[in-house]
């Protein structure tokens, strides 16, 4: 919760929830702010299921004196995500994304060009039995052709963030 609340302060999350019109109309056990933090926490705990991510998040959630928290069902989490929708996350991303390094920032530019980092991954994709591959895959010297592959190559600024 500390990392999330430092990167995405509660005031900013409340602002984007209000801007997106996703504020709940009545007090709920899964308020919109908590739902936004829950979706962000799912990116930190990618190997966990819904029911395990929420207790990690709520363990450090600020509560009033003698207030108890009862774990939500996974169906309730799904409903809360649908109620809030993608709007607040889109606005949140728009507010915090982008390169923050300027020409005066050490290490952000080299010879007038912004430094960026790239990484990539390839995944073997099982070939469908009935559908031929879109492009022929040549056989290798050691045997039949490998499975089709899918790849992605994200890039981001190498400049220090704020």
pLDDT tens per residue, range 102-113: 888 888 888 888
pLDDT digits (tens, 9 = 90+) for 14-63: 999 999 998 888 766 788 888 999 999 888 888 888 788 888 787 777 66
Q: What is the pTM of this model?
A: 0.62
Q: Are residues 91 and 143 in the same domain?
A: no
Q: What total of structural domains would you count in the chain? A: 2
Q: Is 137 inside a domain boundary?
A: yes
Q: Is 162 inside a domain boundary?
A: no
Give the helix, strand, coil percentages of the chain, each rounded to 5.
Answer: 35, 10, 50
Q: Are residues 8 and 84 in the same domain?
A: yes
Straight-line distance from the first to the last Cα atom of the chain, in angstroms, rounded to the nearest whole number: 19
Q: Are residues 24 and 80 in the same domain?
A: yes
Q: In terms of residue numbers, what domain contains 57?
A: 2-96
Three-class secondary structure of residue 113 per DSSP: strand
Q: Is 103 inside a domain boundary?
A: no
């Amino acid at each position: 919760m500390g990392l999330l609340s430092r990167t995405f302060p509660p005031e900013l999350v409340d602002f984007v929830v209000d801007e997106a019109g996703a504020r709940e109309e009545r007090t709920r056990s899964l308020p919109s702010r908590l739902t936004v933090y829950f979706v962000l926490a799912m990116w930190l705990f990618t190997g966990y299921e819904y029911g395990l991510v929420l207790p990690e998040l709520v363990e450090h959630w600020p509560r009033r004196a003698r207030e108890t928290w009862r774990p939500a069902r996974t169906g309730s989490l799904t409903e809360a995500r649908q109620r809030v929708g993608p709007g607040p996350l889109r606005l949140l991303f728009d507010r915090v994304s982008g390169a923050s390094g300027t020409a005066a920032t050490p290490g952000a530019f080299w010879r007038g060009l912004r430094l960026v980092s790239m990484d990539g991954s390839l995944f073997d994709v099982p070939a469908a039995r009935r559908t031929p591959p879109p492009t022929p895959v040549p056989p290798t010297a050691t045997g039949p052709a490998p499975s089709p592959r899918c790849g992605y190559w994200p890039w981001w600024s190498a400049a220090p963030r704020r």
